Every structure is written in structure tokens, then in C-alpha cells.
């Protein structure tokens, strides 16, 4: 995405999707790793991750302190249907 003044993208939304994209590439990542990959300050990444954690989209391992996407991330109605994990079995008659 180019950084034109005419862009209608909301910067914070673009950053959150950057976090999601990076976490989807690895099983889990630490705050420093995400900060480096996204070229964002640790404090910014931390705030986004805390919000995503409160909403149930990421989890944090208590021992390693690394972050990972949760199943909720893939079953959200915001995800395209082809990417969603079914939350219940279809009813067959």
C-alpha cells in the first residue's frame, strides 16, 4: 500500500493486520520480533497486542511471553468464509 495523502486506510487498522499477517507466518512470536518485522516501536506493538488479547484474537504464553493467533482469529465473521474454521458440524438429515 502506498502512503499517499489520498489513502482512505486507517493507519491503526493497517498495523493490526500487519501483526495478524506476521503471527500467521509463525507459530508464535515475541514482542521484539514483531516490533522488528513491522518496523514499529515495541510500545505500539504491545498496545495493539494487549487489545487483541483482550478481544480473544491472540494469546500469550506465560512462560515464553510469545504471542500467537487464537482459533477465534480464524472463526471470526470478519474472515472470508474460505479461511474460517467451522465452529460446529453441519446438520444432516
Residue 85 maps to a domain: no
The pTM assigned to this predicted structure is: 0.71
Contact 68, 45 (CB under 8 A): no
Residue 69 C-alpha cell reads as: 493467533
Domain that holds residue 46: 12-75
pLDDT tens, N- to C-terminus, the chain (93 residues): 555 556 788 899 999 999 999 999 998 999 999 999 999 999 999 999 999 999 889 999 999 999 999 877 655 555 545 444 444 444 445
CATH of the domain at 32: 1.10.10.10
Quote the CA–CA distance of 19 and 37 in Å, as a whole number. Answer: 9
Q: Residue 91: left (phi > 0), alpha (psi -120 to 50), or beta?
A: beta
Residue 84 maps to a domain: no
| Structural domain total, the chain | 1
Amino acid at each position: 500500500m502506498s502512503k499517499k495523502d489520498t489513502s482512505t486506510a486507517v493507519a491503526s487498522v493497517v498495523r493490526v493486520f500487519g501483526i495478524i499477517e506476521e503471527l500467521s507466518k509463525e507459530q508464535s512470536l515475541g514482542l521484539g520480533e514483531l516490533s522488528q518485522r513491522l518496523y514499529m516501536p515495541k510500545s505500539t506493538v504491545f498496545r495493539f497486542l494487549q487489545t487483541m488479547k483482550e478481544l480473544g484474537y491472540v494469546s500469550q504464553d506465560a512462560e515464553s511471553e510469545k504471542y500467537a493467533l487464537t482459533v477465534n482469529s480464524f472463526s471470526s465473521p470478519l474472515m472470508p468464509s474460505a479461511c474460517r474454521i467451522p465452529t460446529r458440524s453441519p446438520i444432516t438429515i
